[in-house]
Structure 1
Amino acid sequence: MALWCHIFTLTLVGAARAWFERLLDGQITSWEDLAKKFTQQFSQQRRHISDTADILNVVRKDNETLEDFITRFNQEGLNIGGVSEELLRAAFRQNVKCDDLIRNLTGRDGMPQRWNDVMTAAKRYARMEKSLGKELAKNDARNDINRARQGKRISSVWSRLNNEKNLATYDSSIDR
């Protein structure tokens, strides 16, 4: 073995050292061979082999917009490769966490059979949600304010009733 190979092995620690020690005698014949095998073992660019069922693990995060999730879901589906349209539809439906979108997609006839039709409808819904989001947020804020005001009215009515009940109890105790 070349001098470079011997010097290189002295620098190895941890997983690299364990990998090198497990190599059989004669498996490495030159510096080029060592470099190639080392790179194959420890390269960050090494392609991860995915199972098509991994698409089921692509779940919408709590703080993720619908539009961002659709983009990420499609990208993951492409990275995994070989995922059937039926599995894509099932995984998307399960993991999108947006009941309104699912109701919109399924309608009376169920979810579209073609994945492209599902994505076209989902993207359209996401764009609509995004454009209406500010208006919906304003409406939600108004509804929260109205609920709070109504809650105060209810609590003030409740407190009046309690006060009247307490006064009646007090008045009846005085009459005795």
Structure 2
Amino acid sequence: MKLLRGTSDEFLCRAFPTTLTGATRDWYSQLKPNSVDNFEDFGDDLARHFMSSRRPRKTAVSLMTLRQGDNESLKVFVGQFNREALQVPNLDPSAATNALLTGAQSSDFRRSVALRNLHSLADLMAGAEEYISVEETLAALDSSRRRTSEEKNPMKQRRDDKA
């Protein structure tokens, strides 16, 4: 709309409908002819009509409500946290750091952050990536050991299946 600054209300009111789609276009098409006096009032009417469908703005406080689920990996939680954090305008890094540490369920992760003295958000994210990488490597090793153990001792597997 910056390109149209200084343009007459009449032109704006005639050009604007070409930008509308879906429900907004339906609403506009039901306006009575000549019911729009100026573009400012038209904009206010439009905003009032669609106010309830507006998404609330994300804030640092909304990040504080995020919690890692019982069966949710740290990787999934950090990914969700990052997606939400990107929607918060002018996010204070210390608030984000606090929210991430508060929401993370793993006390081992929080302990590793404290031991490594990670305070900045960038350091915390790098630390989270390292922790996740170690977690995934250990899980893969455990899985590999279990498979190897089952291959060496098939009778134990059968007994476990019967139990």
Residue matched to 1:41: 50
Residue matched to 2:31: 5
Give the CA RMSD over aligned residues.
3.5
How many angstroms apart in 1 are the aligned matches of 2:89 and 2:108? Answer: 28
How many angstroms apart in 2 are the aligned matches of 1:75 and 1:69? Answer: 10
Structure 1 residue 139 displacement after superposition: 7.6
Residue matched to 2:70: 62
Alignment equivalent of 1:121, drawn from 121, 127, 131: 127
Structure 1 residue 138 displacement after superposition: 7.4
State how many pairs are aligned.
Answer: 115
Alpha carbons of structure 1 residues 119 and 29: separation in structure 2 relative to 1, 3 Å: same
Q: Max radius of gyration: which structure?
A: 1
Structure 1 residue 106 displacement after superposition: 0.9
Identity level (%): 18
> Is the contact between residue 58 and residue 76 of structure 1 (CA under 8 Å) also seen in structure 2?
no
Which runs of no fewer than 5 residues in structure 1 stay unpaired? 7-25, 143-176
How many angstroms apart in 2 are the aligned matches of 1:3 and 1:114? Answer: 52
How many angstroms apart in 1 are the aligned matches of 2:138 and 2:58? Answer: 37
**TM-score (normalizing by structure 2):** 0.56
> Is the contact between residue 58 and residue 84 of structure 2 (CA under 8 Å) also seen in structure 1?
no
How many angstroms apart in 1 are the aligned matches of 2:68 and 2:108? Answer: 15
- Is 1:96 matched with 2:122? no
Query: How far does the alpha carbon of each residue in 1:39-83 deviate from its partner, in whole angstroms, 9 at most, with x for none?
Result: 961685x45323321110111122221111111111111112222
Query: How far does the alpha carbon of each residue in 1:92-130 deviate from its partner, in whole angstroms, 9 at most, with x for none?
Result: 1111101111111110x63x2211111001111112111
How many angstroms apart in 2 are the aligned matches of 1:77 and 1:101? Answer: 20
Which runs of no fewer than 5 residues in structure 2 stay unpaired? 1-27, 150-163
How many angstroms apart in 2 are the aligned matches of 1:130 and 1:3? Answer: 55
